[in-house]
Amino acid sequence: MWSQLVHKTRRMTCFLLPYYHNSPSTTKLIFTPHYSSSVFLRPVSSPAVRAFCSKSGAMSSLLSLQNPDYVSFLKQREAAEIDETLMGPLGFSVDQLMELAGLSVATSIAEVYKPTEYSRVLAICGPGNNGGDGLVAARHLHHFGYKPFVCYPKRTQKPLYSGLVTQLESLSVPFLSTEDLPLDLSKDFDILVDAMFGFSFHGAPRPPFDDLIQRLVCLHSNDQTHQKGPVIVSIDIPSGWHVEEGDIGGEGIKPDMLVSLTAPKLCAKKFCGSHHFLGGRFVPPVIADKYKLHLPPYPGTSMCVRIGKPPQVDISTLRENYISPEFLEEQVESDPVDQFRKWFDDAMAADLREPNAMALSTAGKDGKLSSRMVLLKGVDKDGFVWYTNYESRKARELSENPCASLLFYWEGLNRQVRIEGSVQKVSDEESEQYFHSRPRGSQIGAIVSKQSSVVPGRHVLYQQYKELEEKFSDGSLIPKPAHWGGYRLKPKLFEFWQGQQSRLHDRLQYSPQEIDGKLVWKIDRLAP
């Protein structure tokens, strides 16, 4: 479990030993090098570690990533029974389930393949429910910023399906016949959505789907020549596969992504692509209990969750091509604090998570740097305010070197702001006022927390917290601890950054300048 054997000198083994960092709201495991004459190490274990592993939803999700067997796989009969139950006594309609499935597929695609690089999508839809899922996915992908095309050669006249077609036509999504499709799909499309056949399909594919499947198979063969081709996304079952035995002959479609629905089918164990997602947040507990389903938790408000082994990624290839409006000197505020407020308001309006989160970097008298995330709790002409423990490492460094930098990063807007300046403590009155504005649980946590000190385990924190919770259960005033309070950074430099295409990012720097005895801010454009 723990990193071992990272360095060996003179028969001495260096290993990383974890210890706990005390924090009011989080457990921090710090790894430091220790040396031992033995090369055999036992995994470190403690009640706190075991509790974290057994209770954390994040750990459950991690287990599902590392161990495919942690997630349940359905036989064909079980999948059919679950559908019948959902659409019978549990009150779901076909169009409801189709809408949820198609949305799950679209969000899975958007998780991995960004429309800036994979914009042209061809959804190849069969005549059944799997094809309906593809039609719904195409509609959502259009709204997500992609350019979908649909090949739907065997249309059904049922109102549900004709309605889906009408919805796409109202968005001017092109429908292509099989004759319209190029023989080589790799030149005209970036993503191919295989929505031809689902788990209920039996027998061999008939025209024109046999030819369409073969075209997808050929794309995989062409990839062996190292030519970049479109990625293939299969919905629930790669078309042509046996629902339980998979690609029996080994000559079927090799999708890059599989989006399983409700729960993965047995054939998904044979899936060897890079990305396996599950869409099925609608599964009620009665179904999960009856079929003993082990399903991973869904993050946040997402309709999909990654399962299976995480993809092997070449870090050197990770990059984003930002698309943002120009950020020009004549458009900015003359005062950088006003410009910061403008961008901060944009981050709030975009509903970004914790837009007040900022990286605080400090250094002690030895010059060694350290950084951590803290929360901005106030900003005005006098500076930027945050609160912390006055006995923490950052506090010790600020006492030795009262200078720091702040970094805000708003990923959803392609923006960051860097601020440098001098730091001083806020007044006791200001710290007192803010302390008592916090939830009572946070006040107790601040008393318990002796940041940056070593503690035996999280159970110690819980015990101290419960004792104080009981002590102040009568609602009496909780005194602010002397070791807790605020800091204010007085800015001496601002840099506003906005991502642009081809790495020609906008960087505008504000620096103070004295003119005629008055302090003004000079604005310079920096090379990206």
Rounded Cα–Cα distance for residues 235 and 170 (Å):
24
CB 469 within 8 A of CB 463: no
CB atoms within 10 A of CB 146: 22
Binding-site residue positions for (6S)-NADPHX: 129-133, 198-204, 236
Annotated binding residues, written as ranges, equal: 129-133, 194, 198-204, 236, 239
Distance CA 194, CA 217 (A): 11
**Cβ neighbours, 10 Å, residue 23:** 19
HEC profile of 345-412: HHHHHCCCCCCCEEEEEEECCCCCEEEEEEECCEEECCEEEEEEECCCHHHHHHHHCCEEEEEEEEHH
Under DSSP, is residue 307 helix (H, G, I), strand (E, B) or coil?
strand
Q: CA-based angle 105:110:116, to the nearest 5?
A: 145
Q: Is 512 helix (H, G, I), strand (E, B) or coil?
A: strand
Nearest to 498 by CA among 321, 326, 357, 353: 326
Burial profile 371-382: b = 16 or more Cβ within 10 angstroms, e = fewer:
eeebebebbeee
> Given CA atoms 57, 62, 65, 71 in this order, what sign does their dihedral have?
negative
CB-CB neighbours of 188 under 10 Å: 13
Query: Is 503 an active-site residue?
Result: yes
Can you read off the two tokens belonging to residue 249? 């002959």
Q: Which of 353, 503, 507, 525 is catalytic?
A: 503
Per the annotation, binding residues for K(+) are 130, 194, 239
Burial 102-133 (b: 16+ CB within 10 A, else e): bbbbbbbbbebbebeebbebbbbbbbbbbbbb
Nearest one of 496, 502, 508, 147 to 323, comparing CA atoms? 502
Classify residue 30 as left (phi > 0), alpha (psi -120 to 50) or beta: beta
φ and ψ at 203, to 5 degrees? 85, -170
DSSP state of 117: T
Please give the positions annotated as active site: 503
